[in-house]
A and B are shown apart, each in its own frame.
Chain A
């Protein structure tokens, strides 16, 4: 890390004070001799705990954090500007380059916005498959987060267990649509392809497998005393602040703010399933951790409710080769693994949107970082960053 002195004051340690000798050095004298000084250090852009190219400019006093200033834009591609020249089918492909761990849910958001604007009737089969894959994406994202979370606070082995289970899901995705991460499985009007004949069997196998693994996660990390001491009471966020900062997703729910888009604005087949919104009131790093673990169970339950009842029917309805949305404004909210993702389309009736805004959850969640990290240590900041679960392309867009 590069060290930079903030103020150009000469070293405050005066030589004549040293002549006093040790017997006269009371604690006050020592403190006045060694004045605390604030330094600025760069954390990132190449730092393992920032999970991507994020640069945090930390103002520190000793190891105590005085200010955190994020420096963004290292991988900004201006996706919103690119959308203004692209067709609606092409825009879907750009969205999974934002939050790549929730790629299928991002795709779904754009498709839903376009379908609502065209007033298309989407077959039940499509809705159910979208919801199943959306929840599997959420599990896959939380698996990765769990592995990395443990690694950030010093437990390297969690990384391998998290990736082991995520691998099963990636294999299912690969068999379904040919891609493991940036899926592009949704198209306006339905799905690119029908599900693979093995899909139901493999998902069921995964659900049975994963049910035995979450208790292992708990035994390995949740109940670990060192882990609990690193996370309890660290980075506390109150409910009022969470709302004011526009925080959403598991981070907000850990502060007792009920904000699950799947509950309040259900989309696809989410109105047909029952699940609990996982809520905690402590608002600290450990609460954010627990909310995500609870969400793994809830997502499994949603998948279980739907997997045996995938309706027969078309997997796609026909749309025009060139999609033109009617004049107006269209808005769609979805719940990604990180929180509330919104698509806001202003259309003038042409084949490309006049303006398209993506409201990404990571951007608002990052803005709260300075508020909750100040006063803590650098080690706490790493734990906080891990539970904010930032994906940098989602912030930089």
Chain B
């Protein structure tokens, strides 16, 4: 499947309930407001709860809210048309205000690749769902993310520090981590 086909299929799994409602409201208020305003509002409505982009990346990127993450991931794997059975890269990222995880998925039968991104604004106690039950490799990778970014994963079987010691304070790969003794800042 190419990226466009993937996008239309995956977006149909998560229809946005707001999309129909808002367009009705606009039709009513059409006479009062100018036609320019109407077009702008309609463009901003996403028919799906997911966001898709190919900008600045060689793969199709899907942004998903934390509450839909597990459902999306399990559907990406089990659906026979997508069949993303190989999770080859799982990276924690600190985007400044948000923390999140980037999943790189490949299908060993169709050989297409997709990138799923999930972000959370909570920097104090960031929690995401584990996808360990879908791809076993996530167990180790999620422990690495927990170790370096402090993101907790619900239902993870063994969530403890992997590389660092248990009494280590802070999460070193976060952008606001400070260690004056060991870090050389240019």
Contacts and interface: CB of A to CB of B under 8 A. Distances in A.
A366 B165 CA distance: 19
A359 B89 contact: yes
A174 B32 CA distance: 79
Contacts of B183: 81
B140 A364 contact: yes
Determine the interface band of chain A, counting residues with CB < 8 A from chain B.
Answer: 35 or more
Contacts of B184: 85
B58 A331 contact: yes
A39 interface: no
B52 interface: no
B85 interface: yes
Contact of B91 (A73, A259, A355): A355
A76 B172 CA distance: 12
B56 A264 contact: no
A263 B93 CA distance: 30
A145 B164 CA distance: 29
A259 B163 CA distance: 28
A367 B137 contact: yes
A95 B139 CA distance: 25
A344 B136 contact: no
- Nearest 6 pairs between A and B by C-beta? A328-B56, A246-B137, A73-B163, A357-B91, A367-B140, A359-B89
Nearest to A352: B186
Interface string A361-395: 00110110001000000000000000000000000
Residue of B59, B115, B140, B185 most packed against chain A (CB within 10 A): B140
Interface string B129-142: 00000011101110
Contacts of B164: 73, 76
Contact of B162 (A73, A247, A248, A340): A73
20 contacts: A80-B173, A244-B137, A245-B136, A246-B88, A246-B137, A264-B111, A326-B56, A327-B56, A329-B56, A329-B57, A329-B115, A331-B57, A344-B91, A357-B102, A359-B88, A364-B137, A366-B140, A367-B137, A367-B139, A367-B140
Interface in B119-136: 135-136
Nearest to A333: B88
Contact of A328 (B57, B115, B141): B57
Contact of B186 (A78, A85, A245, A327): A85
Interface string A68-95: 0000110010101100010000000000
Interface string B44-63: 00000000000111110100
B56 A246 contact: no
Interface string B70-86: 00000000000000011
A243 B104 contact: no
A258 B109 CA distance: 10
Contacts of A259: 108
A112 B104 CA distance: 19
A243 B162 contact: no
A85 B56 CA distance: 22
Contact of A72 (B94, B115, B163, B173): B163
Contacts of B93: 346, 355
B60 to A, nearest CB: 12
A78 B104 CA distance: 22
Given A72-B163, A73-B164, A329-B56, A243 B86 contact: yes
B135 A246 contact: yes
B87 interface: yes
B31 to A, nearest CB: 43
Interface string B107-118: 010010001000
B89 A344 contact: yes
A19 to B, nearest CB: 46
A248 B88 CA distance: 9
